[in-house]
Amino acid sequence: MRKGYQTIGGLDAETLAVSDNQLSEAERAINHLDLGFPVFFDPKAVVIQRFGVSDTLNDGYDTPSVFVIDKNGDIL
């Protein structure tokens, strides 16, 4: 994730992770992974559901995904 973050930063764009984990779990992961970019806490998975990446593999987990969104808010 960090490598992708650096690449996106080079495009004059921002990286934001979204997590629907419990806050304590998300904080542990953030500290362990040393992400270097902000994480939006979405406990009701509203954003995850709207982007269509909620449990797409039917394994009980949301699917890790990357979306590149331009300055107009359009998904590229």
Nearest to 8 by CA among 68, 65, 57, 55: 68
- Of the pLDDT bands very low, low, confident and very high (cuts 50, 70, 90), residue 3 is low
pTM to 2 decimal places: 0.63
Distance CA 70, CA 60 (A): 30
How many CB atoms are closer than 10 A to CB 15? 19
Encode pLDDT of 35-54 as tens digits. Answer: 777 888 888 888 888 888 88
Q: Which residue has the higher pLDDT, 3 or 39?
A: 39
Residue 42 belongs to domain spanning: 1-76
Using CA atoms, how far apart are residues 53 and 48, in angstroms rounded to an integer? 6
User: Based on the structure, what is the number of domains in the chain?
Assistant: 1
Q: Are 44 and 51 in contact (CB under 8 A)?
A: no
